Structures are given as structure tokens and as C-alpha cells.
Amino acid sequence: EQILPAVVTVQSEMIISQVPRDDNHKFFWEKQGEEDSEFFQQGTGSGIIITKDGYILTNYHVIENATSFNIILYDRREYQAKFIGGDPNTDVGLIKITAANLPTAFIGNSDSIKIGEWVMAVGSPLNFSSTITAGIISALGRNIRIIDSEYGVENFIQTDAVINPGNSGGALINLNGEVIGLNTAIATRTGLYQGYGFAIPINLATKIVHDIVTFGEVRRGLLGVSISEVNSRVAKGVGLSRPTGVFVQGLQPGKAAEQAGLRSGDVILSVDGSEVISVNDLQIRIASKNPDQVVVLKVWRDLEEVTFRVKLGQAPINQTINSNNNHRKKPFKNLGMQIRDLTSMEQKTFDLKSGVFIDNVKGGSPANKGGIFPGFVIYRFNDEQIKDKDDFESKLSKMKTGQVVKFTIRPPGFRDAADDRILFVEVDEQ
């Protein structure tokens, strides 16, 4: 009852220029369209309402390259959303609808979760909106190598709650109804659920959202080290009683770690008093900090623990796109259909004195969604007669985004008004 109204369906339209890199780790974003080098595609994902005025948390890959977003709420209201920002290094994205008094999700604390806890996945798998499945937290700190970036941060929560395409951007919640993760990827060889799902810890996701809203970019701390896992052999070699921490292979010249006095061969045991158990663990702890923030590192060196205070640097800011970018253009105009004046022969064939003939309709466009197909003739616009193409475009130009137009159309092969159809098309941005 608490979470369902706060989870939405995100329908996006985009131009795709490349196919997924690794089919064994699929994003839960359901794509409709052919796989080609560049093509128009529709996708269905999920999102979480996090503020009453319409900010929606989702995955970056759900909204990446999209030209428009249609948001369907739990009560079936629909809104067009605006792109606010996104971070491909964490796969966190943010969009917004214009609304008020929306139901919002309760945000939990992903740092406090434990393996074996019961959780539920909420989203729109396979276009089934408001679906809930249950399972447990199977593992923490997973790196599944789906973020292809030098500064990518992967520290996924693994769950066996059933997750399928369309779940991307949905909520992973605990039994208190609090969001602890953002559903993101699925390990599969079939494209469907095979027992392994992954979610971004909500603490990381909310930090990204805060930066996007506050700064228009993601500001992420940088330690400046090259690190590797500590296995039993490494632990024995440096004199640790058990494998723990991360091994420092090298230092970036002039960066925070070197300036603070760390060396190659050190083992970082903890950050601000919290034990570091893996490379992923250290990455997310540092990525969750802000530039210039001071962290306390406990380091194993020469058979003893040494403490360092490190003022973090700043990771390169090349990952966030904000809503001021102008490259997100509509790939088609006139509601996604090509129109022309009727020929004299067509006027006789359809028994119409005026109107416009539909030569082509773009797949996934507003016209296509409204049921308009090539070969139709539109002769009334909101019950007003259409004189010609110029008249149609003049009427359309006076409509606002989000308004719905009532078209009277005559299908090919028909001449009588009894065969006419009434279709409704929502005006999108031109």
C-alpha cells in the first residue's frame, strides 16, 4: 500500500545506435524494435517518485538517448516527463513530471541491510505494471561488469526476487516498505529471469540525485589509487591474519592518496571506521563522498595499522547530462506523420472535397499511438473541416504539448461517413 502508488511505468522513445555489449547481464528495460546499427526504438522501464512535485528516480539506461518520456502512474494518469540528469558511471537517472501532491516512496538506508533479509521488487516487468515479487538479499557488493567506464561504480545488491525486462528503475524494498535499492540488471542467458537480479544501493542513488538537482552535475570524491583484491596469498604475504581490505598497487601522481602519504603495497582496511571488504566496497565508499571531504583511512603497513587523514580530490566531471542540453531533439515532426494535399483523384475516391492524405507514419510516434496509418485521410481537426495541408499545420501549431486532438478520418477503400473513425492523438513537442 505504501510503495505501489510511488512506482511508475516509464515509456521512452529513442534512437539507438548500438546493441548491448553483454547479453549475459541484461538491463531490465524492455525494448521493442529491431536490433540494428541505428534505429528508432521504444522502451518500457520503471521509476520511483521521490518528491511530491514530480521528481522520478530511474536508471540512466532507461532514459539515455530518449527523445520523450510518457509516465503512467499507479492510478493510470499519464504525464510527459522532462529529462533532468543522469550518471552513466552509476546508471542513475532523474526525470520530472509537472504535478503536485504525488505519493512518494519511503527511502531506507542501504548501508544497514544484511544478507538473508527479505525484500520485494516492484516495477513493470514485461509491461505488467505494479508487479511485486519477493525474495531475499542473496549477496552484497557484486561487480558484474556492465558499466563500461574507468570511473564506473558497481557495488550491486544481489537478490533472488523475480525480476524481468521492464523492471529497470523500479524499487527494491524491505519489509517496512522502504526503498533500499534501484533495480538495474539481470544475470541471464535467455533475457528472462534465471534467479539473479541486481540493484543499486539507494544511498548511492540518492547521493547522485542530490548532486544533479543541486549542482547540475555529479561531484564524486577521488582517492587516486590503483587497487586489487586481497586474497589469502596476498594476506599471507603482507602479514595479515585473514584476507581483508584492498591492496594498493599504485598511486596517481599528485592525487589525494599520494599527498596524504599512502604508498604502493599498503592495504586499506577501513574508511571512516567502516571495514573495507572488497575493491567494489572501497569504490562506493569513496564515490559516495564529496570532493574536498576528509576521510580517515586505516592502513596496514609493515605489520601494523597506520591511520591517515585524506582530503579527497574530484573525479572527472564528464558523466552527467543536464536538462539544458539541446541535443535531445524530436526525430520527427507533425505528430510523426507525413501529410500532403489530396489529389483530385483522391477527392473522388474518398468522396471528400478537402483534407490531408497520410503518406507515412513513424513507428512509436503520437500519430502511430493514436491509431493513424498510411493511406488514411484526415478531414476534420477538432470537428473543424481541414482545407489543406497548410490549414492542418496552422491548426496544429496552435495546440500545446499534452493537449489531445480529435481527428475524423476516412480509411482507404471507403467513401461513406458511416465508415469514418474518430481518433484521438496527444500533441507532443515539435
Q: How far apart (Å, rounded) are the C-alpha atoms in residues 225 and 321?
A: 27
Of residues 168, 278, 288, 365, which has the active-site annotation?
168
Instruction: Tell me phi and psi for residue 356, to 5 degrees.
Output: -130, 145
Note if 68 is an active site residue. Answer: no
Cell matching residue 364: 512509436
Note if 75 is an active site residue. Answer: no
Of residues 87, 91, 281, 428, which has the active-site annotation?
91
Q: How far apart (Å, rounded) are the C-alpha atoms in residues 302 and 143?
A: 30
Cα-Cα-Cα-Cα torsion 278, 279, 284, 290, nearest 10 degrees, comes to 120
Is residue 202 within 8 Å of 110, Cβ to Cβ?
Answer: yes
Of residues 12, 46, 61, 110, which has the active-site annotation?
61
Is residue 388 within 8 Å of 329, Cβ to Cβ?
Answer: no
What would the DSSP string read from start to end of 70-103? EEE-TTS-EEE-EEEEEETTTTEEEEE---SS--
Nearest to 127 by CA among 217, 49, 43: 43
What would the DSSP string read from start to end of 202-256? HHHHHHHHHHHHHHSS---EE--EEEEE--HHHHHHHT-SS--SEEEEEE-TTSH
Note if 391 is an active site residue. Answer: no
Residues catalogued as catalytic: 61, 91, 168
